[in-house]
Structure 1
Amino acid sequence: MKALLNMLKNSIFLLFVLLITSCNKTNWTENYREKEKSPFGTYIIHNEVNTLFKNQEIVTLKENFYDYLYYNYDTTSADYGNYICIKHTASKLTDDGVSDLLSFVYDGNSAFLSLNYFSDALIEQLEITTNNLDRNVYLVEDLKPLKGQFYLEDNTFEKDTFNFDRNIRRHYFVTYNEDKTIVLGSAKIDGEKVPNFMKIYHGKGAIYVHSNPVVFTNYYMLSGKENYAENVLSYLPSSTIFWDPQIKRSKYSNENDDNNNSVFKFFLQHKTLTWFLFVSLAGVLLFMLFNARRKQRAIPIIHPLKNTTVAFTQTISSLYLKEQDHKNLVTKKIAFFLEKVRTKYLLDTNNLNKEFIKNLAAKSDNNLQNTKYLINTIITLDKRSECTQEELLVLHKMIDNFFKK
């Protein structure tokens, strides 16, 4: 219980530090990284491993577990250990790695695997089958509503129900070898209890499998659910802990060589296919050589420069209309009208008097009354500090009709 209280205190302190130092938007994706302080990283439980496993040596693997065993494991040693992997999937544990891990367990060691996805090699060698009703749920907003109720089958916890409020996939074990398997925990799915935590005996040791790794993440370590994680891990025997961050693939597994096989390597293994490959490559090279000599390089089409005056004008007018600055547009319309009168009819526009109106009507072949009405409108609007949209439209129409004559 003291270990749990210490873990809780440290977790609250870590949360406080996170709230003070974090300025970025919270990352709600499930990453299960030991250095990640986001809700679904495993920073807290990895840093509290010394509290969970007191007086036990902790080894955080910096290489693939297969490689570690290759160099460090001695079957004659009496110093047994516990391998722990909490991930979405043990993707870096190859088929050879699974075989070596089970050999490690067979000699009297233990392994704890909490995964959302168990590889075919693990399923086959552990003699289990799984079912994940939420295998196609990946988005944060779709995972959030998934709740769960977990139970531990030991008599000590028979009255305890562990409730989890989000990201709990309905992932459980369907079949298993009953002769060498003990169900340690279950989850309630559609009103029925199904196994989600089991101990599988293998040789002198045992492998513990758990189907909901999200319960070991930072979110649940800070949500008052840390006692469930502590209770689950308490099943492991007291010995050295090998914590696997799954950081690298094996350098020595034969599977790496198999995965790197290329199509060309396959062709070169057969004499007839090798000749076919060389003849095909020679034919392609000859075709490219003669085809390049016969064809002239394409002459690029140089398009004339486009007149963008109209588009520019439309853009500027749209800008003014959007800003609702009608007075500014009225001023520009008046300036445009007077400039055109000066250039087209050679009239002085400094004094818009009766003589100017008479000369303008005569030269433009417009009705005197209409011309007088237009000039008076211009004088009136020019004196105003603000103009309405209707006044702007009326002025535009009058000027447009004037120049159509």
Structure 2
Amino acid sequence: MKKNTFYIVLFASLGILLAGLIIFVVRRRSKEYHFDTTVTLSYRDKRPYGAYVAYNELSRVFPGTPVALSRRSGSFTNDLQDSDRHQLMVVLSPRFYANSLEWNQLIHWVRQGNYLVIAASRFTQDVKDQLHLQLSNFTEDAFIEEGMIQLHDDSLYLGLAHPPFADTASFFYPGRKMDRSIVSLDSSFTEVLGTSDLHYANFVRIRAGDGVILFQTAPMAFSNYFLLYGRNMRYYDNVFSALPARVDKVIWNQYYLYKNQEEDSSSSWWSGLAKLLADPALGPAFRLLLLVLAVYVLLNMKRRQRIIPEIPPKSNESLDFVKTIGRLYYEKGDHRNLAIKMGQHFQEHLRTRYLVQLDPSEESSILRLSSRSGVSETLVRELATMLRYVHDAPSLDEAQLDEWYQLIQTFYKNAQ
């Protein structure tokens, strides 16, 4: 028997040791690094698909040139001035949802002698029509527009055209693709600078007045993962080398990274309203119409129906009856009878509220009531003692009746 006990303890110890080892290995593996596939393209994000490297490398590519951030809310075109020259704006986002008003202002700003770099996969029809570009369908199965993308993709291959670039090697990384191909363009003012692995254009340079637009349809090429993979930083340098030599200011645009399609779909309504208010004749007339409507609404807010009289709530006749009977017992000096009625009412309250019948002769009922009501045992014992005295005493005076009333009220105040 002792030998069997020894083997039982031995196998149990080995089983516990093995289970502990398995738990240790599982927990250690769960703490291992998991690749974060969230696409943000934010200038502050150091995750694989953030744009921290692309933003901070601007100071190296354009030494001595100030780098500024555009606003994240409202139209960024409000910051564009007619006096701007030799300024560069970088737009990096999964989608570039510019409405016609914003795009026209941006093109006007570029024509004055400024530069625009757009790296995105989705564009509004206004942008594609004005640039005379036709894009292919997406190369991945699904593309979620709400910013946080958790889909997996295969890899991205990019190449540069020769000329103008001397570096004709292909650039690759095994991460998200999210690119488009330019299947049709106007070669009279558009120059192909880069291609995809299928040799379709995905990076072009467009002349607009005295300015330049660099249009790139693979925004993942500016992600941290792509730029830090192998020698892909050369692709980044080549992209910005396609701009004129003089750049006095760089603007990193965050507006379209946070603007969604719903805002774009309603933008035509807002742009129409803005044009209406800006018109020298229709604007004041529209404001006057709004003022007249507001005055009309305010004048008609006055109550036209007479005030409905307030109906007083019905009185509790049963409560009035109880008060009358209690007053009758008190005025007749029948304090014992009144005290017994108070005790009966108190016992009914304990039965319905706490499911306890207070019995002065049973210690368990005192403890049970104290536990369920949260009232101290001392007070409950005093109530039990007084309850027995009320029933056993031949008569009660006014002071004893008042003491019994005060004990009951103290219980009500302290009970839960």
Give the TM-score of the pair, scaled to structure 2.
0.50
Instruction: Provide the identity percentage.
Output: 18
Q: Does 1:186 align with 2:191?
A: no
> 1:122 pairs with 127, 143, 146, which one?
127
Distance between the aligned counterparts of 2:203 and 2:214, measured in 1?
7
Q: Which residue of structure 2 aligns with residue 85 of structure 1? A: 91
What is the SS of the residue equivalent to 1:132?
coil
Q: Does 1:146 align with 2:155?
A: yes
What is the SS of the residue equivalent to 1:163?
strand
**Distance of aligned partners of 1:61 and 1:157 in 2 relative to their CA distance in 1, 3 Å threshold:** same
Distance between the aligned counterparts of 2:88 and 2:53, measured in 1?
19
> 1:195 pairs with 196, 201, 226, which one?
201
Distance between the aligned counterparts of 1:254 and 1:134, measured in 2?
25
CA contact (8 A) 1:197 1:211 kept: yes
**Distance of aligned partners of 1:110 and 1:65 in 2 relative to their CA distance in 1, 3 Å threshold:** farther
Distance between the aligned counterparts of 2:138 and 2:267, measured in 1?
32
What is the SS of the residue equivalent to 2:175?
coil
What is the SS of the residue equivalent to 1:171?
coil
Q: Does 1:226 align with 2:233?
A: yes
Distance between the aligned counterparts of 1:163 and 1:254, measured in 2?
36
Note the 1:4-403 alignment, pairs <5 A: 25-63=34-72, 66-67=75-76, 69-70=77-78, 72-75=79-82, 77=83, 79-91=85-97, 93-138=98-143, 143-157=152-166, 159-169=168-178, 171-189=180-198, 193-224=199-230, 225-237=232-244, 238-239=246-247, 240-246=249-255, 256=267, 258=269
CA contact (8 A) 1:82 1:241 kept: yes
What amino acid maps onto 2:243 in structure 1? L
CA contact (8 A) 2:99 2:268 kept: no
Aligned residues: 232
Distance between the aligned counterparts of 1:126 and 1:163, measured in 2?
28
Per-residue deviation, 1:256: 4.2
Per-residue deviation, 1:24: 7.2
Q: Deviations over 1:380-400 (max 9, x none)?
A: xxxxxxxxxxxxxxxxxxxxx
What amino acid maps onto 1:222 in structure 2? L
CA contact (8 A) 1:96 1:255 kept: no
**Distance of aligned partners of 1:257 and 1:127 in 2 relative to their CA distance in 1, 3 Å threshold:** closer
CA contact (8 A) 1:83 1:243 kept: yes
What amino acid maps onto 1:82 in structure 2? L
Distance between the aligned counterparts of 2:32 and 2:151, measured in 1?
25
Per-residue deviation, 1:42: 0.6
What is the SS of the residue equivalent to 1:123?
helix
CA contact (8 A) 1:153 1:186 kept: no
Per-residue deviation, 1:115: 0.5
Q: Which runs of 5+ in 1 are unaligned?
A: 1-21, 262-405
Q: Please, what is the CA RMSD of the aligned residues?
A: 3.3
What is the SS of the residue equivalent to 2:234?
helix
Distance between the aligned counterparts of 1:60 and 1:188, measured in 2?
33
Q: Deviations over 1:281-328 (max 9, x none)?
A: xxxxxxxxxxxxxxxxxxxxxxxxxxxxxxxxxxxxxxxxxxxxxxxx
Per-residue deviation, 1:78: 6.0
Per-residue deviation, 1:144: 3.1
Per-residue deviation, 1:63: 4.4
**Distance of aligned partners of 1:141 and 1:228 in 2 relative to their CA distance in 1, 3 Å threshold:** same
**Distance of aligned partners of 1:66 and 1:147 in 2 relative to their CA distance in 1, 3 Å threshold:** closer
Distance between the aligned counterparts of 2:114 and 2:158, measured in 1?
30
